[in-house]
């Protein structure tokens, strides 16, 4: 009998402009683009992979919603900034200092917090406001 074993998860974030999003991940967060096209990209750092998909449909802004059915393309620009994930790391203190220096820490009051479930973590926002919380398991 084969046992099911989940292996990995890949966060997928909406971004209005893929080129600018990749630039942010490379310049500010030290990820590297492994694949990039106009509407999709993959950025990686060590064993972590993040997919970026283009959410740039702005037609919803110009529709008379009370007359016409709303647009549901799945790529509406307002979706950017609505996703989140948690990424486990080793070296949380060093990563915090790296991201503080690069300006990724979006709030000057942000610190590494010890959580009651056994993690130390801190949040960052990507270029379009998607939330990434980096955490390290307390040993």
Block residue for tokens 């064993």: 47
Task: Please tell me the pTM assigned to this model.
Answer: 0.84
pLDDT the model gives residue 19? 97
Q: Could you state, in order of their start, the residue ranges of all structural domains in the chain? A: 12-137
For residue 92, give Cα distances in angstroms to 43, 58, 133.
20, 38, 11
pLDDT the model gives residue 59? 59
Within the chain, which residues score under 70 in pLDDT? 57-81
Query: May I ask the CATH class of domain 12-137?
Result: alpha beta
pLDDT the model gives residue 82? 74
The tens digit of pLDDT for each residue in 67-95 reads: 555 555 555 555 666 789 999 999 999 99
pLDDT the model gives residue 72? 58
């Amino acid at each position: 009998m084969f046992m099911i074993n989940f292996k990995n998860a890949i966060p997928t974030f909406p971004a209005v402009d893929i080129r600018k999003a990749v630039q942010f991940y490379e310049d500010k967060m030290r990820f590297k683009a492994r694949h990039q096209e106009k509407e999709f990209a993959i950025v990686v750092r060590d064993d972590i992979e993040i997919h970026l998909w283009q959410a740039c449909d702005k037609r919803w802004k110009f529709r008379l919603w009370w007359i016409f059915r709303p647009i549901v393309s799945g790529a509406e620009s307002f979706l950017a900034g609505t996703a989140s994930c948690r990424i486990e790391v080793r070296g949380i203190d060093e990563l915090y200092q790296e991201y503080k220096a690069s300006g990724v820490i979006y709030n000057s009051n942000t610190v590494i917090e010890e959580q009651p479930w056994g993690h130390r973590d801190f949040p960052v926002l990507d270029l379009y406001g998607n939330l990434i919380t980096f955490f390290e398991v307390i040993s």
